[in-house]
Amino acid sequence: MAKKAVGWAVGTMRDGIRKTLNQTKTKAAGREVYAYKVPYRDGDGKQTSQTWDTLTQAKEFRDLVRGQKNSGILQDFKAGRITVSAWGAEWLSTIKATRRPSTHATYRTWVNRYILPELGGMTLNAVTPHDIQRAVNAWATRHGLSAWTVRLIYRACKGLFQEAADAGRIPASPCRNVRLPEVHTSEVVPFTVAEVEAIAEEITPRYRLLVVMGACLGLRIGELLGLTWDRIDLEAGTVSVDRQLQDGRLSPAKTRTSIRRVPLSQRVITELRTHRDLYPPQTVSVEQDGAPGRTEVEPVFRSPRGGMANPATVRYRFRKACTAAGLRPEVPHKLHNLRHTFASVCIEHNTSPKKIQTWMGHASISVTMDVYGHLMNSSDDSLRSAMDAAFGTDAPDSPGGPDAPAH
């Protein structure tokens, strides 16, 4: 809310801006509250204006209009009077038509649960970087979200406003010069092999194989639950990963590099055969992205009722098994930690980081190194051992014999 400008009478113009009295806010506040009107001619030459709560906003808009007039292209600023809530619905419909169903579902949750409660009642052209900062602060404090989640929601918010700018609704996105909470990453603490074995013993037999495969193959939980028998070649000893289970439907793999073939160890092959004997393959009807109607598949992991396994149920069973297994207190009871175990075992056995990246489906080797670099042997002794193994520990005689003079 702007302070009274000394010597500037209400109703008068200063450099293209008219100072006015905001009747509604004045009545509510019990004192004079001012607004600032910027008159201009639109692209059709019609006289119009926009009113702003602060002088700073009015000056920014005036300068924008002047700049566009000089360039010969004047934007339809009235288009920005749509509310963020209404534009959010339009933006989500575009996301639904152009992105994966899982992406649309995630964005819809973020928009409805976090973005609209903070900004939904404002018009697009009224939102400032300060309003975006206020929303970010609310997500981190009042909503208690992690720094990483706040950053993801902000990225969606940024996309929403950038599309509004690209569509000519607003001159520029207000998502600029916004300070985001810092992400403090902690080093992963993988399960030991003994802990994995203990969890596999404690979990219900239906999901024992999932524990073993998670630790021995490094697959994500969605990839494991979306795995079907036709993707497993026991003769060749490989599993093909090209899709995942998300929101009860089969979706493509997370990224292009997530599509991969992972070798099966003999232990996994044995566990697979035992699991197949206990739970013979059965056909399940499931929705699949890009396919009309429903698709018939034979999932490796089924629910007790015969459908696709429920991720929430699997996580619950896994946490119970972790508690019963008596793990170290610092180890998180999360399914994703099996993936960390896979990486740690590979590193312990000197597997190349590039191979680990490929098998885990990381987008780049830098991701692998950022997450697991601390597990790799970085001591000086490793360099000494490598060089001694390659070149030996004894130096050969110098040219000319042992009595040759030094140069």
Token pair for 377: 């042997």
What pLDDT is attached to residue 379?
47
Q: Are 91 and 136 in contact (CB under 8 A)?
A: no
pTM of the full predicted structure? 0.65
Distance CA 4, CA 14 (A): 14
**DSSP letter at 334?**
-
84-166 has which CATH code? 1.10.150
List helix spans (H) across 219-286. Answer: 221-225, 266-278
Other Cβ atoms within 10 Å of 395 Cβ, number? 7
Cα-based distances in Å from 45 to 13, 64, 68, 72, 296: 21, 17, 14, 12, 62
What pLDDT is attached to residue 381?
60
What pLDDT is attached to residue 69?
73
pLDDT tens for the chain, 407 residues long, are 445 445 799 989 999 999 999 998 889 889 999 999 998 877 667 788 888 888 988 898 888 788 777 766 566 556 567 899 999 999 999 999 988 777 888 999 999 999 999 999 999 988 999 999 999 999 999 999 999 999 999 999 999 999 998 888 887 899 999 999 998 777 788 999 999 999 999 999 999 999 999 999 999 999 999 999 999 999 999 999 999 998 888 988 878 888 999 999 999 999 999 999 999 999 999 998 877 889 999 999 999 999 999 999 999 999 999 999 999 999 999 999 999 999 988 888 888 888 999 999 988 877 788 778 777 665 456 556 667 777 776 766 655 555 555 55
**Domain locations in the chain as residue ranges:** 13-74, 84-166, 193-377
Q: Is 103 exposed, middle or buried (0-12, 13-18, 19+ CB in 10 A)?
A: middle
Distance CA 390, CA 397 (A): 18
* Fold classification of 193-377 (topology level): hpI Integrase; Chain A (1.10.443)
Residue 389: what residue type? A
* Of 65, 14, 13, residue with least CA distance to 42: 65
Distance CA 168, CA 162 (A): 10
Other Cβ atoms within 10 Å of 209 Cβ, number? 22
- Sequence-distant (≥ 6) Cβ neighbours of residue 308 within 8 angstroms: 225, 245, 248, 284, 286, 299, 302
Distance CA 327, CA 318 (A): 12
Phi and psi dihedrals of 137, rounded to 5? -60, -40
